[in-house]
Structure 1
Amino acid sequence: MSDQFVSVRGLVYEYGVNRALDEVSFDLPAGSVTALVGPNGAGKTTLLRCLAGLERPLAGSVRIDGIDVLEQPRLAHAKLGFQQDFFGVYDDLSVRRNLLHAAAIQGMDENDMEAAAVWAAEAVSLSNRLEDRAGTLSRGLRQRLAIARSMVHRPRLLLMDEPASGLDPEARRELSGLIRTLNMAGMTIVVSSHILAELEDYSTHMLALRQGRAAQVAVLSGETAPKSRWRLGLIGDARDALAGMQGAAKVADCQIIDGEIEFSFDGEPLDRHHLLRHLVEQGVMVTSLAPTGGHLEKLYMGERA
């Protein structure tokens, strides 16, 4: 099986005389979490609906794990789940009944539906809410239920359209943790959102859409990703600290900015520990070490330029 789990070629979609997708082509690897970004009207939702087989494009092809979504939609649907930009839960039904209904829609065997509902509820931390009516849940929990409905059949690909829309900060943090957990369990995920800072928390790749056209997929993490940027806060002359960092493992491109040192670093937490210990042994008075953040935003803005 090819490592390119999602493969899109020459995708064209039109609403009347307006072209929403214009020769869109890209590949996404298995096990990735892709941030689908772009301004309003760029075609993000249309692209997700085409990936899910809910819209038929004017031209082009979409393959999920080697399956042509347009030619074999039922086989493709068994491998994917789509959490749309509205919750789509039944308020009068319990969490359990919502999940059983979703399992039935997916054509699951009746003998497997109960176990699937319990698994999906556990995956999104709703096990203790199985008998609660969906209409009594908070917005964040309703969002979790919507995600559970979309993945009750254990898809290998999960498409999410603005999943954090309308959620409070705590619910957004919980959603980020959930996406990371699902990805660690082996799920390939595509997330459309305007909140770049949150996408950066869990995304491994970025796909930018502008005016219906796709930029090249950019890697955000892994061996081929650009080194992350870090900033070292300190007391004293930054030039002394800069000298102490010369030759330090996995450190590159050091610059003094506003009395602090910014540098590229591709080490693990233990490597950061060794770096800090090295600096302290050199007599550097370190006050902080933190990522500069905003890598995805900088990359996106660079793609726009």
Structure 2
Amino acid sequence: MLEVENLVYDYPGHRALDAVSFTIERGSITALVGPNGAGKSTLMRLCAGLEQPFSGHVRLDGADVHANPRAAHRRMGFLPDFFGLYDDLSVAQCLEYRAAAQGVPAAQRKSVALAAAERLEIADRLGQKAGTLSRGLRQRLAIAQAVLHEPSFLLLDEPASGLDPSARIGLSGVLRNLARDGMTILVSSHILAELEDYSTHILMLRQGRVVEHAPLITMGAVTERRVEIRLDFARPVVELRKRLIAIGNIEVLSCGSDEAVVVSDPDPIARAAMLASVLAAGLPLASFSPERRSLQDIYLARMKAAAERPPLRLVGPE
């Protein structure tokens, strides 16, 4: 869907993006995360064709975004972190004006505006001025403007910024619906718990470089090769780790006196055998459940590992 190849972008005295490469799959919702100054907003603007890279390429379905940005914009929607609305225009007027800017024929603008308003659940506000809307409704109007031309790829930079918890939940539902409708979405946010609700992939940036890009399902407790299981015991067990290891078919990841996280084969029969062996060893197993790491835990662990890696050394001729 979207291919980014060796993207480099410099500000005066500072390299914002350094050889960034990744591919976003069609139909995915990719969470773009990283500390302040990592290059997230710069990457968004480059992917949207609003900035020219120092080197590298951005391709949307094989077409170079920067070679023909107007053609790319017909297939993209973009909502920047700081967006503006015409406060004196009604919601309907804002949407119809945007439809005109996107080249929608005059006869279709009202229907296109109505469809976008219904999709974002603001059809009951069509006559209300944009300047009187709440923060959450303004955000919905801005997204409606970004998607009314039915883009195949949507970029959202901090869409939940400033929203209350109820509005964030509503936004999560909106993004899931857009993905179900066939849009591929790249969304940046500092609210990791919110991203976890709807994202399928994660793209981590640090100091202008990609730390990791992977499906979320492969970064949690469950993969094709292993399952992490939390074991809770009815009472503290002396030398619990040693007793678990002594069973012989258990890898212990962490252990306390009355709980442990172990690795099991994902096959249910093998998992049942492992649990049976724990009981057969006389351990007072009270409950067990899959142990899933949160997106925040994954993010912090990856960023810590990236910070501990030695910096790259450029080796040239003596």
Superposition TM-score, scaled by structure 1 size: 0.80
AA matched with 2:151: P
| Distance of 1:68 and 1:266 partners within structure 2 | 44
1:227 aligned residue: 221
1:127-170 CA-partner distances (Å, limit 9, x unpaired): 21111111111111111111111111111111011111111122
User: Counterparts of 1:159-170 in structure 2 under 5 Å?
Assistant: 159-170=155-166
> Identity over the aligned pairs, expressed in percent?
48
| Distance of 2:94 and 2:180 partners within structure 1 | 25
User: Counterparts of 1:1-305 in structure 2 under 5 Å?
Assistant: 5-221=1-217, 224=218, 226-228=220-222, 231=230, 235=234, 256-257=255-256, 259-262=258-261, 285-286=286-287, 291-293=292-294, 294-305=297-308
AA matched with 2:207: Q
Do the aligned residues in 2 keep the contact of 1:220 with 1:296 (CA within 8 Å)? no
Q: 1:109 to 1:252 in 2, by over 3 A?
A: farther
| RMSD of Structure 2 on Structure 1 (CA) | 3.3
| Distance of 2:168 and 2:154 partners within structure 1 | 18
SS of match in other structure, 2:74 = helix
| Distance of 2:8 and 2:293 partners within structure 1 | 38
Do the aligned residues in 1 keep the contact of 2:136 with 2:163 (CA within 8 Å)? yes
Deviation larger for 123-132 or 145-154:
123-132
SS of match in other structure, 1:217 = strand
Q: 1:48 to 1:292 in 2, by over 3 A?
A: closer
| Distance of 2:67 and 2:33 partners within structure 1 | 28
1:32-91 CA-partner distances (Å, limit 9, x unpaired): 111111111111111100100111111111101222101111211111111111232221
Structure 1 residue runs of 4 or more that deviate by more than 6 Å after TM superposition: 251-254, 264-267, 287-290
AA matched with 1:147: I
Task: Name structure 2 gaps, 5 residues minimum.
Answer: 223-227, 309-318
Give the structure with higher Rg (CA).
Answer: 2
Do the aligned residues in 2 keep the contact of 1:48 with 1:161 (CA within 8 Å)? yes
Q: How many residues align?
A: 285
| Distance of 2:288 and 2:169 partners within structure 1 | 27
Do the aligned residues in 1 keep the contact of 2:221 with 2:293 (CA within 8 Å)? no
AA matched with 2:221: K
Q: 1:265 to 1:186 in 2, by over 3 A?
A: farther
1:231-279 CA-partner distances (Å, limit 9, x unpaired): 466645788xx99xx9xxxx99786546335456898xxx9xxx9xx99
Do the aligned residues in 2 keep the contact of 1:124 with 1:144 (CA within 8 Å)? yes
